[in-house]
Amino acid sequence: MKALRGLTIGVIGAGKMGSALIQGLRRQGVPGARLVVADADPKACARARRRFQARIVKSNLDVARRADVIILAVKPQQFPEVAAQLAQGLQQHPLVISIAAGMTLRWLGGRLPGVALARVMPNLPATVGCGFSALTFNARASARHRAITAALFQAVGAVVQVPERHFDAVTAVSGSGPAYVFFLVDAWQRAAQALGLPEAVASQAIRHTLKGSARLLDASPDDAAALMAKVASKGGTTEAALRVLTVRRVSASLVEAMTAAARRSRTLSWS
């Protein structure tokens, strides 16, 4: 967190993702007095003050005037208004970070000319400190700006820097990714109960199997295909199950689903 030392960090939008970032930064030792927060919802502001001891200000313009780094954690439809407000009061040499899907650096740069910009695609597990965030920057962003952005999002998980042209794919893979896992778990749960397992037992078995498998994948030098082969002994139960998934083209369907997500991300982009 050395990159954040002495900085005042502004957060516009104290909803789910904004709150996750504030919480992650507080856990990493960033003082509440260094976190300046604005939100149109008074309840969200009260929550940020009560839970994280953040400094609450009256307007987005107040954030712009006080902060060295500004995180825009608002919905895309709010961006034109927020960007117009920021343009009136930004401090000299600020860093502005957008976490909204579809808001391109070109679009932001047109509203905030001359400003160092970062675009970030986080995902929902950031709310429990286990997220994955992709980062990209405009030409105005210096090495220090990149280090600051990385440090901010490392507070809620892993980060990777990629060119902006990969953001539609990142959206499909990690942004939407948790939903694929939850879809699988929901189907897994229903199948377990159809086999006669009580709901509570099925839920416990699935959650621990999922958690253990993720940990094994993280710790093992083997890739997913090799680990799958270790579970599926020839002529056994797992092989029978995998044969059905292959015949049903589950893998191909996942590729098709992610392609649809990436395509939709492109159509929603503000450029």
Q: What is the pLDDT along the chain (271 residues), one digit of tens a residue?
A: 789 999 999 999 999 999 999 999 999 999 999 999 999 999 999 999 999 999 999 999 999 999 999 999 999 889 899 999 998 888 777 899 999 888 999 999 999 999 999 999 999 999 999 999 999 999 999 999 999 999 999 999 999 999 999 999 999 999 999 999 999 999 999 999 999 999 999 999 999 999 999 999 999 999 999 999 999 999 999 999 999 999 999 999 999 999 999 999 999 898 8
Separation in Å, CA 49 to CA 7, 23, 106, 266: 19, 11, 34, 37
Going by C-beta distance under 8 Å and a sequence separation of 6 or more, which residues neighbour residue 15?
39, 41, 44, 73
CA 39 to chain centre: 20
pLDDT at residue 88, as a whole number? 85
CA distance 151 to 145: 10
pLDDT at residue 102, as a whole number? 87
**What is the CATH code for 2-171?**
3.40.50.720
pLDDT at residue 32, as a whole number? 97
pLDDT at residue 28, as a whole number? 95
CA distance 57 to 38: 6
**What is the CATH code for 177-268?**
1.10.3730.10
Exposed e or buried b for every residue in 200-237, given b needs 16+ CB within 10 A? Answer: eebbeebeeeeeeeeeeeeeeeeeeeeeeeeebeeeee
CA–CA–CA angle 208, 183, 270 (5° rounding): 125
Start and end residues for every CATH 1.10.3730.10 domain found in the chain: 177-268
pLDDT at residue 51, as a whole number? 96
Which one-letter amino acid corresponds to residue 40?
A
* The two structure tokens encoding residue 90: 């930004």
Start and end residues for every CATH 3.40.50.720 domain found in the chain: 2-171
pLDDT at residue 262, as a whole number? 95
pLDDT at residue 118, as a whole number? 98
pLDDT at residue 101, as a whole number? 84
pLDDT at residue 132, as a whole number? 98
Residue that is written with structure tokens 């699988």 in the block: 184
The pTM (predicted TM-score) of the whole model is 0.94
